């Protein structure tokens, strides 16, 4: 494996340029929540499809001579389909959502009217098309309703439903698998023997994915054995769009992931980043499958997820505008950086800025559990003092 250390900026660019959106597919509108449109959608109808009353009241045809008194001639309910017209000085009782008479030029709300012996009296100012939703007022037939790349939230889905649309072309969510390596790892809830630790990366990554809407993930555990690692990878690479591997990517005698990936003809795009934590991160592709081999230390793995994997997944589902949110915040405590690698520090935003938390070791999650941000210090920074502005990734 090529051990050239890429910079953080290079790594981000390489991920963005090598990850592609999934092939679009048609789904029922009800199944498209929080997915992104793969095509422009044009309205098949005018909306509203007819002039429509905006309230309960009376539809009228007024002119200069007929302003206050109207002859009541009919009633129209929502859902009625009679296309009637009015003579000047006539009115119909009408209800919200009902089609107004073809030539009605106002609807008067019932609170401003009085009816006696079939005569409607109005106490209201008149204006053309008052309280009438005009045909095509919201959108006209063949106008663009939603553009490619729009996220389908509940309002967007409701809007498309009002246009009679039942299917949409979207970028589907990827099939994601998490492979966990390590003989020392045991499942929480089982007795812990000397030399063992509880495995946490799988559930940590699984729930981080679920928080972003990726609710279906396969978790596979494999022992530190080359044949088992290779066989597991071979099967998982064929069945998944994205494979996340926890541990086994370093260069120890029992780290078999890198060797197995290359043996399976996985293209290495980069291996190792000039950063702390998370230096031994592998990113590659096996045909159409995206592969991230993460360091085994939990804080390293989660940092790499937030900085690289989250954006890759958003690109796969066709999100055109995603970028990890960064802000310049005032630092509340001093920090001395060791070494020349860029560094991500677990942090928490406060009312006045951002605070660097304790327990910054790549193996420790206790402070990550309190964090809602990662402070990024570039390679050449040696010390940051209280009151300075620092680049901060907001994690959510």
pLDDT tens digits, 158-184: 999 999 999 999 999 999 999 999 889
Distance of CA 132 to the CA centre of its chain: 37
Q: pLDDT digit string (tens) for 63-73?
A: 999 999 999 99
210 & 281 share domain: yes
- Residue 362 has a pLDDT of 95
Determine contact, residues 174/319, Cβ cutoff 8 Å. no
Q: pLDDT digit string (tens) for 252-261?
A: 766 899 999 9
Neighbouring-strand partners of residue 65: none
- Establish if 2 belongs to a structural domain: no
- Residue 320 has a pLDDT of 84
Tell me the mean pLDDT in the region 202-231: 95
Number of domains in the chain: 4
Write out the two tokens for 8.
Answer: 């953080």
- Residue 254 has a pLDDT of 61
Nearest to 160 by CA among 268, 279, 332, 32: 32
184 & 282 share domain: yes
The DSSP call for residue 31 is G
- Residue 166 has a pLDDT of 98
Phi-psi region for residue 318, left (φ > 0), alpha (ψ -120 to 50) or beta?
left
- Establish if 321 belongs to a structural domain: no
Nearest to 1 by CA among 270, 287, 325: 270
- Residue 189 has a pLDDT of 92
Determine contact, residues 146/136, Cβ cutoff 8 Å. no
- Residue 71 has a pLDDT of 97
Q: What is the CATH number of the domain that holds 281?
A: 3.40.980.10
155 & 89 share domain: no
188 & 249 share domain: yes
- What is the average pLDDT score of the chain? 95
3-state secondary structure at position 271? strand
- Establish if 125 belongs to a structural domain: yes
- Establish if 66 belongs to a structural domain: yes
Please give the full DSSP string across 171-210, using - where no structure is assigned: EPPPPEEEEEE-TTEE-TTS---TT-EE--HHHHHHHHHH
In the chain, pLDDT over 90 holds for what percent of residues? 93
306 & 359 share domain: no
pLDDT > 90? residue 4: no
Q: pLDDT digit string (tens) for 79-122?
A: 999 899 999 999 999 999 999 999 999 999 999 999 999 999 99
3-state secondary structure at position 162? helix
Residue 396 banded pLDDT, cuts 50, 70, 90? confident
Q: pLDDT digit string (tens) for 222-253?
A: 999 999 999 999 999 999 999 999 998 877 76
266 & 300 share domain: yes
Answer with the one of 83, 104, 133 that is the final residue of a domain. 133
Neighbouring-strand partners of residue 282: 271, 293
238 & 293 share domain: yes
Q: Which domain holds residue 244?
A: 8-22+173-316
**Interior CA angle at 279 toward 278 and 280, to 5°?**
95
Whole-angstrom CA distances from 71 to 53, 188, 349 are 19, 79, 67
- Establish if 3 belongs to a structural domain: no
99 & 154 share domain: no
Tell me the mean pLDDT in the region 211-231: 94
Tell me the mean pLDDT in the region 303-326: 93
In the chain, pLDDT over 70 holds for what percent of residues? 99
- Establish if 1 belongs to a structural domain: no
179 & 284 share domain: yes
Residue 3 banded pLDDT, cuts 50, 70, 90? confident
């Amino acid at each position: 494996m090529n051990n050239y250390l890429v910079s953080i900026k290079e790594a981000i660019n390489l991920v963005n340029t090598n990850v592609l959106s999934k092939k679009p597919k048609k789904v029922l509108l009800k199944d498209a929540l929080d997915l992104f449109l793969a095509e422009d959608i044009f309205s098949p109808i005018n909306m509203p499809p007819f002039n429509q009353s905006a309230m309960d009241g009376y539809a009228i045809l007024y002119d200069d001579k007929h302003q206050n008194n109207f002859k009541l001639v009919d009633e129209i309910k929502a859902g009625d389909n009679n296309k009637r017209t009015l003579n000047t000085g006539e009115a119909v009782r009408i209800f919200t959502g009902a089609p107004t008479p073809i030539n009605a030029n106002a609807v008067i709300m019932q609170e401003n009217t009085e009816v006696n012996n079939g005569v409607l009296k109005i106490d209201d100012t008149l204006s053309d098309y008052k309280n009438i939703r005009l045909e095509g007022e919201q959108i006209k037939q063949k106008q663009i309703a939603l553009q490619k790349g729009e996220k389908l939230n509940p309002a967007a889905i409701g809007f498309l439903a009002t246009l009679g649309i039942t299917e949409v072309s979207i970028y589907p969510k990827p099939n994601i698998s998490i492979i966990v390596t390590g003989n020392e790892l045991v499942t929480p809830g089982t007795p812990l023997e000397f030399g063992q630790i509880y495995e946490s990366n799988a559930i940590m990554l699984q729930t981080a994915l679920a928080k972003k809407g990726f609710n279906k993930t396969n978790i596979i555990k494999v022992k530190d054995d080359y044949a088992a690692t290779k066989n597991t990878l071979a099967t998982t690479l064929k069945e998944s769009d994205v494979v996340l591997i926890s541990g086994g990517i370093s260069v120890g005698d029992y780290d078999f992931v890198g060797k197995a990936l290359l043996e399976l003809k996985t293209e290495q795009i980069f291996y190792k980043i000039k950063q702390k934590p998370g230096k031994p991160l592998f990113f590659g592709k096996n045909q159409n499958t995206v592969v991230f081999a993460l360091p085994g230390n939990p804080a390293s793995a989660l940092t790499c997820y937030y900085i690289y994997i989250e954006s890759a997944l958003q690109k796969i589902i066709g999100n055109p505008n995603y970028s990890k949110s960064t802000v310049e915040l005032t630092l509340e405590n001093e920090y001395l950086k060791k070494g020349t690698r860029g560094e991500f520090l677990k942090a928490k935003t406060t009312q006045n800025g951002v605070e660097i938390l304790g327990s910054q070791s790549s193996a420790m999650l206790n402070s990550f559990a309190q964090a809602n941000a990662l402070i990024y210090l570039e390679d050449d920074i040696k010390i940051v003092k209280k009151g300075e502005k620092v680049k901060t990734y907001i994690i959510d």
